[in-house]
Structure 1
């Protein structure tokens, strides 16, 4: 019996979930300051600040944060961010191919656009319900500041989980699930489907081989498309999650308040850091994801296929 080559061996579901989780955590560590800058820009304008500090642009926000609150503040909420990637990204990305195959009628047929979108909807929806508490804690830790004369609401990640659950109710850990569900369905479908289609087109038309340059270009295009479509929902999600009890009656109320007080452009606050973060996150995650899958399957090959 001839042993199959690594390219012939399809990664198992376990390998995909593990690779997605590790790659997403690595991408989060590298791009987290951009995410913090995005959150600060998104909540700016929500209420007047006594400090008088206003954030301008990506680098301006990062620099101002580092100078006024310390460089460590750029990574406030990182533990919750990593917990989010482990519980969220590992499932939505790692299960995508398996769910896509489930929706494909014929076993060896090329998945249709409908199958790809259905897989993105399914894995994105399931992952949001599991990972929402980590999202709530991450956003609140990123948003809180000690510059307004008020004691920070939370001293750390687990303190935030405890205080939210005991003072607001356990249900508050799932606050903002609706906009986050909508946001992540948009992100998951756009990100994974665009990446999948772009990579397939580049390889099929022999423009690029199925390797790092192909993965990098596909991830960049997916990042831009995802940011453009998800930005309005992302801003509303951030505002609603960060709001104290009673500030907004509902998600639509939050969106309407933003529209009336700040205008339509409020829905695209933090667009540049969102794109920089999503694009760089996608590049790091997808390139590492593809390479890690290959390396893990190489290490399994002698055991699984030796004769």
Structure 2
């Protein structure tokens, strides 16, 4: 690698894998309160909600965050953060870190550019694979975020590890994979919308020389990806959250959960928490993709330094 610049060396699959997981954790740390607010707004109106939850009314993003802080304390905004970080390291590493490799695998030999269909197929593949591996972490994260715990009140679980154990003991190992089907659907859609939109916007900005491959380009592409993803994924995201947080027997299936929502709350229920979803996904995408691009460059720089002779 003598004489090579870091920009001349493409990042390996392992660098992308590690960079994606780390960048997603950074994004989660920055946006987790918005995610908690989104979950609370999504489950509001459930017929079998706890007595405490029924008496709490959330209005808007700021109102929801304010209510949570007032009733449960500031730390409650980060309930489930450890499970969230577990989720991102196992989930984002696969769905984002392996996207380019899978896209190349699906691209016909001799073709210079991947088609939209190829990109969508790659997004669905990595999204579904990631959910299959990381589902238990998502279940635990949602349970923590959905639980309304007054200051000094009883805890639902005594920590992240206890949550895994309790769910497995009370609901069986299958309980940790509860909602896998709607989550695979949701994350396949999210991954397609997110990765493909980011991929295409960034590619077009570079092809037409509107921007160079740096921070502004990454910011614009990430923001566009976040907006498109929120519109497409909100309905299935609400279903996923409701179903994963439900008590045993509340819903017979994800389809039953969907029908129950339509009958009891109407179609608008599928877009509950849309504003915090967009604020969270938009900001999450910006932080994640910008961090992802920079981490890839830093790791390639480190790799070039290690492999260069003294």
Identify the TM-score tier after normalising by the shorter chain.
over 0.9
How far did residue 92 of structure 1 move?
0.6
Which residue is equivalent to 1:252? 255
Instruction: Give the direction of change, closer, same or farther, for the CA distance of 1:18–1:107 in structure 2 (3 Å limit).
Output: farther
How far did residue 155 of structure 1 move?
2.3
Structure 1 residues 235-244 or 296-305, which shifts more?
296-305
Distance in structure 1 (CA, Å) of the matches to 2:77 and 2:178:
24
Contact 2:73 2:151 in 1 (8 A): no
Which residue is equivalent to 1:125? 128
Q: Matched residue pairs, number?
A: 307
Instruction: Give the direction of change, closer, same or farther, for the CA distance of 1:126–1:170 in structure 2 (3 Å limit).
Output: same
1:96 aligns with 2:134: no
Cα deviation code 1:13-52 (max 9, x no counterpart): 1110111011000000110000000000000000366442
Contact 2:91 2:134 in 1 (8 A): yes
How far did residue 70 of structure 1 move?
0.3
Which residue is equivalent to 1:182? 185
Partner SS state of residue 94, structure 1:
coil
Which residue is equivalent to 1:299? 302
Which residue is equivalent to 2:242? 239
Contact 1:3 1:306 in 2 (8 A): no
1:167 aligns with 2:170: yes
1:4 aligns with 2:7: no
Which residue is equivalent to 1:32? 32
Instruction: Give the direction of change, closer, same or farther, for the CA distance of 1:9–1:90 in structure 2 (3 Å limit).
Output: same
Contact 2:164 2:176 in 1 (8 A): yes
Which residue is equivalent to 1:43? 43
How far did residue 306 of structure 1 move?
4.7
Aligned pairs (5 A) from 1:97-112: 97-106=100-109, 109-112=112-115
Distance in structure 2 (CA, Å) of the matches to 1:228 and 1:250:
24
Structure 1 residues 153-162 or 28-37, which shifts more?
153-162
How far did residue 153 of structure 1 move?
2.9
Contact 2:197 2:221 in 1 (8 A): yes
1:22 aligns with 2:22: yes
2:156 to 142, 153, 158: 153
Superposition RMSD in Å: 1.8
In structure 2, runs of 5+ residues without a counterpart are none
Contact 1:49 1:148 in 2 (8 A): no
Contact 1:39 1:270 in 2 (8 A): yes
Cα deviation code 1:89-148 (max 9, x no counterpart): 011100001111111112561111122111111111110000000000000011111249
In structure 1, runs of 5+ residues without a counterpart are none
